[in-house]
Amino acid sequence: MARQFRAEQTRATIIEAAADLFDRHGYESTSLSDIVEHARVTKGALYFHFAAKEDLAHEIMEMQSRTVRRLAHDVEESGYSSLEALMRITFQLARLAVELPVVRAGLRLASLGVGVRPPLPHPFTELLDLSTARILGAVKEADVHPDTDIEAAAHALVSFFVGTRVTGRTLEPHARLPRRTAEMWRLLVRALVPVTRRPRYLSLAAQLERETRAV
């Protein structure tokens, strides 16, 4: 039991070290030797858990995917409106991207075009599907204009959210992501939400930014 626990700890340490390096330096610029040094493990320990750098990248994207699915499930169980659920998911992802190298690295690996192994969906496809379903629900709930191009709105949201992270990586600290997420929602709410319902969602964006930054 103790040996298994140590092996699991080592595996987690390797994943976190790889994620940190992939996020800070990129996939191509990170070698297995870099990961071994950063994780402070032996090469034998790394190869015991992962045969290649690609396996590490795939595991990180799988973990990021599980995080998104878990967040979506937890928010759905809370009974929020479709639009509030979508807003809460993006703010929680922003918080986790600030706190966890794995979430940051998952987004960066996807943006760098690192291959995804089936049946794992591409992270952007997963976010697009999630956004499309919530925006469609918001249209039905009259929180979004009925003539909204749902596919275009979902694509814009995902591009905005991911692009903010990509741009911010070189221009500002990742701790700024909650603020950028709030700015994104202030623009989207004014573009998508009927005038009578805007105050609720503009107020929610401000509230979620405060909550996210306070955690």
Give the dihedral of Cα atoms 92, 184, 103, 123; nearest 10 deg. Answer: 110
Give the DSSP letter of residue 71. Answer: H
Domain total of the chain: 1
- Provide the sign of the torsion angle of the four alpha carbons 138, 156, 205, 85, taken in this order: positive
Residues 88-109 have pLDDT tens digits of 999 999 999 888 889 888 888 8
Of residues 129, 100, 124, the one with CA closest to residue 114 = 124
Residues of the domain holding 152? 53-214
The per-residue pLDDT string of the chain (215 residues; one tens digit each, 9 = 90 and over) reads: 567 778 899 999 999 999 999 988 989 999 999 999 999 999 999 999 999 999 999 999 999 899 989 989 999 888 999 999 999 999 999 999 888 889 888 888 888 778 888 888 888 899 999 999 999 999 999 999 999 999 999 999 999 998 887 776 777 777 888 999 999 999 999 999 999 999 999 999 999 999 987 65
- The CATH number linked to 175 is 1.10.357.10
What's the pTM? Answer: 0.89
Give every CB contact of residue 135 below 8 A, 6+ residues apart in sequence: 82, 83, 86, 144, 148, 150, 153, 154, 157, 192
Residue 204 near residue 84, CB atoms below 8 Å:
yes
Is position 45 within any domain?
no
- Does residue 8 form part of some domain? no
Burial of 183 (0-12, 13-18, 19+ CB in 10 A): middle
